[in-house]
Structure 1
Amino acid sequence: MKAAPSPVLTAIGVISGTSMDGIDVALIRSDGETRVEPGPGATFPYPDAVKRVLHDVIGNPGAAQGPLDDLQGAVTDSHVAAVFAFMKKFNIARESVALVGLHGQTILHRPRQGFTRQLCDGARASRALGLDVVNDFRAADVAAGGEGAPFVPLYHAAICAGLERPLMVLNWGGVGNVTWLGADGEIVAFDTGPANALIDDFVARRRGLSHDEGGALAAAGRVDAGVLARLMSDPYFDLAPPKSLDRNHFHALAREVEKLGDEDGAATLAAFTIEATAAALNHVNGLPSRWLVCGGGRRNLTMMRALGDRLGARVEPIEAIGYDGDVIEAQCFAYLALRSRRGLPLSLPTTTGAPRPMQGGVFWPAPKAA
């Protein structure tokens, strides 16, 4: 007798990435396996005061490991407010939503020390939303010896089902990560190195800008080959996957660009992202002819063109297959919340290095009405 198909449920996912350029919220309908129907997505700004404190804490690993109850409450409330704004914007009835996956804000990720921290109070969120919530997705993986990242590979595999393989899905957020989908169903994933974080920080210092719009500043500069070679000398690139990075891993090394002008510094950091991304091919079996790119970096036309030239492959935004690249990770945590409730793995040995497929997430049921 055939097992009944798993129900397709509506879930909302919420995340603010390492670049902290906003709180991403997205809705999907899914069974937590192969069926995914993307819904709307949107990004909402952090309150400026919360963002300032987060930047300070993320830049101070000691503080990031201390008691941060007030900041966690403020982050949680910001994410809850984003969910309410999202539901209002798209006229989504609360009773239609089965579950909310709240990733929270990563402030320190050091898996080799058995530590990862995402600020999010699941109990507070479920009370405020009046909805079931899953949070704390990464802790079980790290506790078991995994890297705790990247966590999007199973979602990438679900949305790319049926596409020609081998295929690479690249996320250029603050840090870059890839999911390699092999011809025989293999899934390998790891962080590649810098994506937008170093460039964003550089143009903020030099020009007071949030990012290099379209890669225009980098396009006007020349790559310093000597600085680029020193940047690529980081031993991280030779490590076999699974492997993951903290946002600030390359910051000390990136001081090399401070001696360069604005345009040349931006060009060199962009080239660093390209070379770090291309180095991912040293760790997979089979060259993908197609790369699908998610995250804010796909809007950097200079880097997108440079990556295609460097790889000799088709490099396209994820929109080419009908998904919104701004909210893929938010969709992912809606999907993982559904998997968590079904007791399905959120990560694999080939994606995080955990010893076995790992379940995860902590469930916070909505308070019952009195």
Structure 2
Amino acid sequence: MTAAAASPVFSSAPAAPSASDVPESAVSRWAVGLMSGTSLDGVDAALIHSDGRTVRAFGPARTCPYPPELREAVRAILGERGGEEAIAAVERTLTDIHAEAVEDLLAAAGLTARQVAVVGFHGQTINHRPQERHTRQIGDGARLAARLGCPVVYDFRTADVKAGGQGAPLVPVYHQALCAGQDHAGQDAPGVTAVLNIGGVANVTVLAAGQAPLAFDTGPGNALLDDWALRHTGVAVDRDGALARQGQVDAAALGRLMAHPYFSRRPPKSLDRDDFAALARCVDGLSAADGAATLAAFTVEACATARDWMPQAPARWLVCGGGRHNPTLMAALRQRLAVPVEPVESRGWDGDALEAQAFAFLALRHLDGLPQTFPETTGCPAPMTGGRLALP
């Protein structure tokens, strides 16, 4: 599909509220957000001070890596394999590690749990099949609330999926809030900005003044490359892009990967971590370096193809998530997209903490009954709130 043939899926809507638009009844409070993504590398925890409409202040952030045995245990239950007893055991361990991350974060911030309005607990996705109206993120919200002694909002995706939405991405409303009152592409580059999150799966939020955010999963992020690196090097990441940098892209294999029907589907759309795993076996005959180079190129080409669904090509891409730490991937994105591609730190944001911050923001929106997902971001029929509240 060419850009000229694509149909943009962008609708007019008010921009995110500015501080002057926030009602006086909106109260800014401390909230903790927790994110454990499809990279399966650990828990990010972050504090923000917000009213769920604008962000007033950022607190500290922490990353709590998964022990290798937990990472493998999570891998073993992806797709809800292993049975409910195995899933429940992993869920307990995973919830307790999230609790430790919150306790460490609050200690670093000099806060107690009673000074926190809410914890936004994303949990760990183990199955995501929105076409079947099913998604599952494990994480025991009641157990976490009881241990911490403060309210916890969890299970953010299920309501959206049951209503016919994709349940992802959830972060666009936070991206919009961060950009509120700013030119979306920077003062020196007016136009559309794409905020690209490269986690295990990659997703994009497209922001333009006076338009509702458009968002969808672009395709693979780090997951395929991480799994490849683990099999060939014993380390579950291509650190600094060193392996891919040594290889050559196999054009035939890349062509087979890009022939996946996902790329011709109209957004909103989303992916499970392993949706491309079977197809990615087409690189199995390549050397370790060539396979890594081809899988990295797959991530880049998927991002480039995502432009076909945008009303105009972005003037700038802001990158968050673990992928922005891979210089080989970032260099390839800059070459392929041919516009500025910068880590979100160029905006003063924390790219490692951004998704965790977003779940603090979403939890606050849940408390106030504000929508979190929208037809343009997940395909839900109308703006929807989401999540379940667990009280201590």
Task: Say if 1:112 and 1:66 are closer, same or farther in 2 by CA, change over 3 A.
Answer: farther
Corresponding residue pairs, total: 364
**1:110 alignment partner, one of 129, 141, 166:** 129
Structure 1 gaps of 5+ residues are none
Q: Which residue of 1 aligns with 2:34?
A: 14
2:243 maps to 1:223: no
Q: Which residue of 2 aligns with 1:158?
A: 177
2:114 maps to 1:95: yes
Q: Secondary structure at the match of 1:76?
A: helix
2:148 maps to 1:122: no
Residue 83 of structure 1 aligns to which amino acid in structure 2?
Answer: V
Distance 1:298 1:36 in 2: 26
Task: Say if 1:63 and 1:260 are closer, same or farther in 2 by CA, change over 3 A.
Answer: same
| Residues 149-298 of structure 1 mapped to structure 2, 5 A cutoff | 149-161=168-180, 162-164=182-184, 165-298=191-324
**1:30 alignment partner, one of 33, 40, 50:** 50
Q: Secondary structure at the match of 1:347?
A: coil
Q: Secondary structure at the match of 2:284?
A: helix
Distance 2:350 2:218 in 1: 22
Distance 1:294 1:200 in 2: 17
Q: Secondary structure at the match of 2:26?
A: coil
Q: Secondary structure at the match of 1:323?
A: coil
Superposed displacement of residue 47, structure 1: 3.4
Q: Which residue of 2 aligns with 1:340?
A: 366
Superposed displacement of residue 308, structure 1: 1.0
2:343 maps to 1:317: yes
| Residues 72-83 of structure 1 mapped to structure 2, 5 A cutoff | 72-83=91-102
Structure 1 vs Structure 2 CA RMSD = 1.5
Structure 2 gaps of 5+ residues are 1-21, 185-190
Q: Which residue of 2 aligns with 1:50?
A: 70
Deviation string 1:173-210 (CA, Å, 9 cap, x unpaired) is: 00000000123222100000001000000010011112
Q: Secondary structure at the match of 1:350?
A: coil
Residue 390 of structure 2 aligns to which amino acid in structure 1?
Answer: W
Q: Secondary structure at the match of 1:49?
A: helix
Deviation string 1:257-305 (CA, Å, 9 cap, x unpaired) is: 1111011111111110100011110111011111100000001111111
Most deviating of 88-97 and 145-154: 88-97
Residue 76 of structure 1 aligns to which amino acid in structure 2?
Answer: T
Distance 1:149 1:36 in 2: 25
Q: Secondary structure at the match of 1:351?
A: coil
**1:147 alignment partner, one of 166, 180, 187:** 166
Distance 2:39 2:23 in 1: 43
Deviation string 1:15-60 (CA, Å, 9 cap, x unpaired) is: 11011111100000111012342221110022333222111111x5
Q: Secondary structure at the match of 1:24?
A: strand
Percent identity of paired positions between Structure 1 and Structure 2: 50
Residue 53 of structure 2 aligns to which amino acid in structure 1?
Answer: E
| Cα contact 1:36–1:158 (8 A) shared by 2 | no
Q: Secondary structure at the match of 1:53?
A: helix
Q: Secondary structure at the match of 1:259?
A: coil
**TM-score normalized by the length of structure 2:** 0.90
Residue 35 of structure 2 aligns to which amino acid in structure 1?
Answer: I
